Amino acid sequence: MTTESGAPGGDEAVERRLSSPSPGLVQDAAQIDGDLVILGAGGKMGPTLAMMARRALDEAGRREVVVHAVSRWSDAEVRERLESAGVSTVVADLASPGVESQLPDGGHVVFMVGAKFGVTGQEYRAWLTNAALPHTVTQRYPDADLRPVHRQRLPVDRSALTRTE
């Protein structure tokens, strides 16, 4: 359903349009090796990104590649919607000690976690989320194609990171 202006009408139509993969993304999805892990997938953009990834992989004929959406999942409805779209949801608090053992394997990781607002008086939360957690993620996924989400897509330089055993 669309409105007179051609805009999608209703939440489902908007979500369907926003999660439609471009032909280029479908081509890229055809080449993916390993599962996709989206960390922080329960936020504002995560559910749509996870659905878009699943749709791109399906259109590319790559149904065997799993899209893992990781979050605390405080909104059960969003989690159920992703599951019904073929996305595997993983419940994990990324700030918890030892969370690495709860995270699924993946050849590609999208890092959508960040703390910017609402930390007054709890500044340690911003440090934990924006500094310590990325280190934990790179330790858990040392060989993965890791893509932090920000305004510009830049290659990840791991030369400064060291792996501790």
| pLDDT tens digit at each of 165 positions of the chain | 545 555 556 777 877 888 889 999 999 999 998 999 999 999 888 999 999 999 999 999 999 999 999 999 999 999 999 999 999 999 999 888 899 999 999 999 998 887 776 667 877 777 788 888 888 888 899 888 776 654 334 344 444 444 444
Give the span between the Cα atoms of 47 and 50, in whole angstroms: 5
End-to-end alpha carbon distance in the chain = 54
Q: What is the pTM of this model?
A: 0.79
